[in-house]
Amino acid sequence: MSAGHGLVECEGMFHGLVHKSDDNGVEHLFLISRLGSVVAYFTSAKFLLYLGHALSTWGDRMWHFAVSVFLVELYGNSLLLTAVYGLVVAGSVLLLGAIIGDWVDKNSRLKVAQTSLVVQNASVILCGIILMIVFLFKTQLLTLYHGWLLTMCYILVITIANIANLASTATAITIQRDWIVVVAGEDRSKLADMNATIRRIDQLTNILAPMAVGQIMTFGSPMIGCGFISGWNLMSMCVEYLLLWKVYQKTPTLALKSGKVEESELKQLNVKKESDMKPAEGVQLIVEKDVTGFEPQQEKEVGCAARMAEPFITFRDGWVAYYNQPVFLAGMGLAFLYMTVLGFDCITTGYAYTQGLSGSVLSLLMGASAVTGIMGTVAFTWLRRKCGLIRTGVISGVAQFACLVLCAISVFMPGSPLDLTVSPFADISARLFESEPLPTLASPEDKPEMVFATGVPNLLNGSTTPANSNPEMSPEPVPLISVSLLFAGVIAARVGLWSFDLTVTQLLQENVAESERGIINGVQNSMNYLLDLLHFIMVILAPNPEAFGLLVLISVSFVAMGHIMYFRFAQKSLGKQLFVCCTPDPKAVSDSSPPGNTSTV
């Protein structure tokens, strides 16, 4: 009896061990599968695309911040070279945006991405080397050829930096408007998530990259900053080149490009066939050389004229194609948002300084704007899932405009410098017609201190000012109600702004034919730069703080017009269904329809 009982106990222990070993095996398999999924994600084309974009954006943001500071440093703390650089960059993209986009369309994806990457980084490296030479030998260069050699260095730096910006534009068009669509496939939800992740990377690098290079320049020197940026771009170029090749290998559909490329290849084949059929005709032409000798030369002249006119024809065709797009009004709505002073650029930062905000407060506000921008990308993915893509743009526009109403109210609150008795053009007319000397920020001996990543001299960084400062530049403390409402509206509006930006971006990705993605997005970039240029001209015409309130009201009006254009587009697209909210995109449509078709509601 005891022996049988012992046998039963042994059998139970054996089954328990078997079950335990089975549980351990299942747990082990689960861990292996989880590890495999993690490894698969970090080696996927999507993650490699994110990594390459992060490296590229980090280098871009460091360079864009540093080149402005370098130009100010080189030209005796004057903003002249920086202003010239800004105008050259804006004008170049405005004129060449369509041509760059057409070049993106007509060449293979890998060739475009690699060429623009190499040109961009090589230009930045070359600029960095020239700037280092200028910083080292500036006094010697001033004496050579009466300073003309130094002037040529300035021109060379601005020209090469402009080439780098044009190459960066080509990279943005091909990666963010084309590659990302192909990698996402026909899954529109995946495309929305990838767009949102790209924007989050942009938001983070916008804050962190200038802070990093600003610290290097503050604790080191501008020359060390040049060397660091050149070294970073050299290393980043090699890594990005490898990442692009890996993404291209992992996504075979990137090798397929429809539309214009196929047509051009067919034309080349037809030309080759015709040339193969012409030898006999050529023998006859040798006999009739005197009679028809001028015909080949005439054809060559026509071909040369057509080649010279090709960029102008491409420019015209690009704008016409952009106008004929179904998402034309949506793209125009996005462009109108660039005609604003309600952002964290040098204009708003300078105004904040005149209102008594310190550099530390401004850096915190910039960080808060980055956080709300990231919140906007999260809101975009959630709204798109619940209400559809087009309605997301409407909701985002309403949210942004509602927040900007605070900015309009701030113009009339206590502490606002708005004075309608002062002409907005009083300052510029005094400079031009009364020969009033321009104010200087600081003497050459007192080198301005750089505050965080703004690169703004440490003047007026608080409501109280030093005793030795200029009394005209040191007003009594003013109420902060107006400037507080202004920045509260600007920061809160970033949620709607970035959600709206992502909406229009995806509409362009989904509704523009693959063969026209480059040229249409190139024209879109040109429109954005055009409105951005107009906003700088507006500030140049009315630069005094008393007129800033008028600039705020004009900016809010342009934002309203942009969202009215988008609302008209949404109304034409959805009709009466526009206000039927909380209708998610049908999965069947998103899985079956290609990205080039009309967007789902």
Please report, for residues 300, 378, 410, 502, 595, the alpha-carbon distance to residue 199 in angstroms, rounded to integers and kept in the order given: 48, 10, 29, 8, 20
Q: What is the pLDDT of residues 401-419, one digit of tens each?
A: 999 999 999 999 988 888 7
Same fold, 40-254 and 305-423+479-578: yes
The total number of residues written for the chain in this structure: 601
DSSP 463-525: SS--TTS-GGG-PPP--SHHHHHHHHHHHHHHHHHHHHHHHHHHHHHHHS-GGGHHHHHHHHH
pLDDT at 591 over 90: no
pLDDT at residue 546, as a whole number: 82
Q: What is the mean pLDDT of residues 22-42?
A: 74
CATH fold of the domain at 305-423+479-578: Growth Hormone; Chain: A; (1.20.1250)
**Chain-wide mean pLDDT for the chain?**
78
Q: What is the mean pLDDT of residues 188-211?
A: 90
Q: Tokens standing for 227?
A: 């060397």
Domain segments of the chain: what residues? 40-254, 305-423+479-578
Give CA–CA dist 377/446, Å, rounded.
43
Q: What is the pLDDT of residues 332-387, one digit of tens each?
A: 999 999 999 898 776 777 788 778 777 678 778 888 888 999 999 999 999 999 99
**Using the 8-state DSSP alphabet, how is residue 277 labeled?**
T
Helix H, strand E, coil C: the string for 110-149 is: HHHHHHHHHHHHHHHHHHHHHHHHHHHCHHHHHHHHHHHH
Instruction: Look at residues 441, 257, 444, 446 and name the one whose alpha carbon lies nearest to residue 353.
Output: 441
Q: What is the pLDDT of residues 271-303, one digit of tens each?
A: 343 444 333 333 333 333 343 443 344 444 446
Q: Is 457 helix (H, G, I), strand (E, B) or coil?
A: strand
Give CA–CA dist 242/117, Å, rounded.
11
Burial 505-520 (b: 16+ CB within 10 A, else e): bbbbbbbbbbbbbbbb
Instruction: Look at residues 265, 262, 245 and name the one whose alpha carbon lies nearest to residue 254.
Output: 245
Give CA–CA dist 279/343, Å, rounded.
66
Q: Tokens standing for 4?
A: 């049988």
Q: How buried is residue 190: exposed, middle or buried, by Cβ count under 10 Å (0-12/13-18/19+)?
A: middle
Please report, for residues 73, 77, 436, the alpha-carbon distance to residue 439 in angstroms, rounded to integers and kept in the order given: 17, 12, 9
Cα 196 → chain centroid: 14
pTM above 0.85, yes or no: no
Give CA–CA dist 561/583, Å, rounded.
27
Q: What is the pLDDT of residues 39-50, one digit of tens each?
A: 888 899 999 999
Give CA–CA dist 360/316, Å, rounded.
47
Candidates 3.40.50.1100, 3.30.300.90, 1.10.490.10, 1.20.1250.20; CATH matching 40-254: 1.20.1250.20
